[in-house]
Structure 1
């Protein structure tokens, strides 16, 4: 029997995750007290319904009962049950925005600041995050992207690394992305903006991409950039980082940065990293 335990930060997408698993045939239970995990697993195993795939949400809503989680995990192992833990995470800024949009209090700060509740929850979940088999950072994922990611892992059985690489192209004149971990400036490359027949296109268009990529300095830079990212990513994974934001900027965020970001995205996608793309300023005037 496949047994998935879903946990993570409040507002990070656990409800969406359990719905996806339900859609692909898992028998799902939300907000189960951790102490009941062994009994629930045994009940499902011996059910006349022939339940062979189970997903359970266990999170901080259980209050003091959440402290029973690690004992219950030990009891599951002693009883011979194999399980996987899926941990949903997101940045503080994104979580605060989601709570404000939904006008909901954080379960650990019903009368205080949202950030206080998030920080307290992170501390309580730190140990279980380290024990998790799959970590998905939903900060820059749409609901459709999250659905695809979960289906890839639990339906298609694809190998996944617990790191989401988010590539952002941007224009320096509109500001550097606040959540960027690595920032690369490509304003030294020849600018298609000054070529009349290319000015109104973007790095997503073949003619602009060919112009940007034809220069020797572009080829050397791209090769060195890919080599550096290949070197760094395994160390970020080893460190336990769940999201890496790589920002690539040019003046307006429309031509050079878009082109280089696309090249890096394609390379990482081919290497089967979990990677998402955001051309922040591409369509802005």
Structure 2
């Protein structure tokens, strides 16, 4: 499954999606979302879903020209509301964009945000390598970065190239197990103007070896639990599989630790909401992001639902390959 929010599920620089105001000019969009990710992961589908929600989509756009785009009057039919305010803007780009350089993209956006007081949010669409390869083989399309090599080589090269943007993104959606309808529904849940205004709670998992969630509100390190990776029968499974769940439950530290985490989160959530916080991201980390953190995130989500909350569960590294290099040479 899924997706996760890496910066309050919204904009960078401490702004939520609903707080992204570019200026008082009706010609300027009130929200700017950068949409990027791996080729074949669903960018076109996401942009179409955003367009259906009233966003103005611009695809395959050179990031270096974003400043000029923001100062361009919107086209006909892209205004909404009683004050004819410009529609929110969704800008799509990927590794095929001319002169593409992830670090240059981040620098450009950072400079633009500082110079013009603009806050952007970024949606990154990810997908497991096997599923991407299946999609390419099904459509008989050649991966742009593969050249005369197999599709898998192109996917691996692109993943390495795009990793800085993945880490930088505010929201990451993995479409490995998504149908087109699944992705469209997720986009509507996250970006619809009529989305519920109450605080959005996201419970996510990640692997420390692949980098922390940069701006999670609460991070719990679950590496004190016995690691299922070292059981060869459990290694290919995830924290969603019953044998892994049972392995973790048998750890004498699990029950008390989880109860304390659950009680702390339930104590804090209403206080965050009272402070006007729109998004709360609770992140669980383990070494590889496949076993302990996934089970912990799923368990907390169940507890939050029992308490009347409606959390979104997102797993960042569920599709990442298991390697001893990631897990380390010892337990």
Query: TM-score, length-normalised on structure 2?
Result: 0.54
- Return the index of the structure with the highest Cα Rg: 1
How many angstroms does 1:81 deviate by? 1.7
Conservation of the 8 A alpha-carbon contact between 1:108 and 1:118: yes
Please state whether the residue corresponding to 1:111 is helix, strand or coil.
coil
- Which stretch of structure 1 is more off in the superposition, 58-67 or 86-95? 58-67
Distance in structure 2 (CA, Å) of the matches to 1:93 and 1:114: 10
Distance in structure 2 (CA, Å) of the matches to 1:153 and 1:9: 20
Query: Superposition pairs for residues 61-100 of structure 1, below 5 Å?
Result: 61-66=96-101, 68-77=104-113, 78-100=115-137
1:27 pairs, out of 56, 59, 64, with 56
Alignment of 1:273 onto 2:322:
no
Shift in CA distance, 90/38, structure 1 to aligned 2, threshold 3 Å: same
Query: Which residue number in structure 2 is paired with residue 16 of structure 1?
Result: 45
Shift in CA distance, 134/244, structure 1 to aligned 2, threshold 3 Å: farther
Distance in structure 1 (CA, Å) of the matches to 2:91 and 2:291: 24
Please state whether the residue corresponding to 1:235 is helix, strand or coil.
strand
Shift in CA distance, 179/85, structure 1 to aligned 2, threshold 3 Å: farther
Q: Figure out how many residues of one structure are paired with residues of the other and give that number.
A: 220
Please state whether the residue corresponding to 1:43 is helix, strand or coil.
coil
RMSD of Structure 2 on Structure 1 (CA): 4.2
Runs of 4+ in 1 over 2 A off after TM superposition: 44-50, 63-68, 157-165, 176-186, 233-236, 238-247, 263-271, 273-276
Deviations 1:210-242 (A, max 9, x none): xxxxxxxx9xxxx95x949x78x8233x98969
5+ residue gaps, structure 1: 166-175, 189-217, 248-260, 277-285
5+ residue gaps, structure 2: 1-29, 80-84, 207-232, 263-281, 316-331
Conservation of the 8 A alpha-carbon contact between 1:34 and 1:72: yes
How many angstroms does 1:145 deviate by? 1.8
Alignment of 1:115 onto 2:152:
yes
Alignment of 1:159 onto 2:195:
no
Conservation of the 8 A alpha-carbon contact between 1:181 and 1:245: no
Query: Which residue number in structure 2 is paired with residue 53 of structure 1?
Result: 88
Deviations 1:22-49 (A, max 9, x none): 0000000110011111111221579995
More helix by share: 1
- Which stretch of structure 1 is more off in the superposition, 145-154 or 238-247? 238-247
Alignment of 1:3 onto 2:27:
no
> Which is bigger in relative contact order (C-alpha 8 A, separation at least 6)?
2
Conservation of the 8 A alpha-carbon contact between 1:135 and 1:163: no
Alignment of 1:185 onto 2:243:
yes
